[in-house]
Amino acid sequence: MERELPQKGSGGASGEPVFLSTQDGVRYPSGIYARAFLGLLRAGEALARTLDADLRTRHDLTLRGYEVLLHLAAFSPDGRRLAMTQLARQAPLSQSRMSRLVAALEAQGLVRRIADERDSRAVVVVLTDTGLDMLRRAQDTHHRELMERLFARLTEAEIAELARLMGKLLAGDGTAREGRRPD
């Protein structure tokens, strides 16, 4: 069995190899590395599924839809409106995925699309009064689930460490730079 140690400065204080190999040359993460990787994926997926299911059941709103409404209401410099491209970067979703999501929210009367006054090729997404009302109703459900499924299970110090670690992980893929409010 081949053992691959982590690169210097990348962890591995336990001396445990990052990857192991079978006799057939199949590589896989070892013990603690597998638990960290799979735990991160499973915890994120489970939390997103739960939040999404609760919002759908109680408000007929997806988690991604909630995020769009929140970005328009809370993170818009000109008050309840953002260019579609900016919204896609902040969410972060692909442009086509964001367009489909905005179309669904528009069909529910929660947002509307208008032409950008400065660039006729661009689209601006505007949060409607109905959308703001929906966001206000849905936020209690969302916050309750966040507390129960995430924040209440961790100490303040663990939450701070989780935030630090997520920032470190996301810094390399560009998602940490857009749509985040300064502390």
- pLDDT tens figures, 141-174: 999 999 999 999 999 999 999 999 999 998 876 5
pLDDT at position 167: 93
**Angstrom distance (rounded) from CA 147 to CA 143:** 6
**Angstrom distance (rounded) from CA 25 to CA 178:** 40
**Residue 156 identity:** E
pTM over cut 0.85:
no
Q: In the chain, what are the domain boundaries?
A: 1-46
Interval 90-128: pLDDT, tens: 887 888 999 999 999 999 999 999 998 888 788 999 999
pLDDT at 34 over 60: yes
SS3 121: coil
Q: What is the mean pLDDT of the chain?
A: 87
57-80 mean pLDDT:
93
Distance of CA 5 to the CA centre of its chain: 31
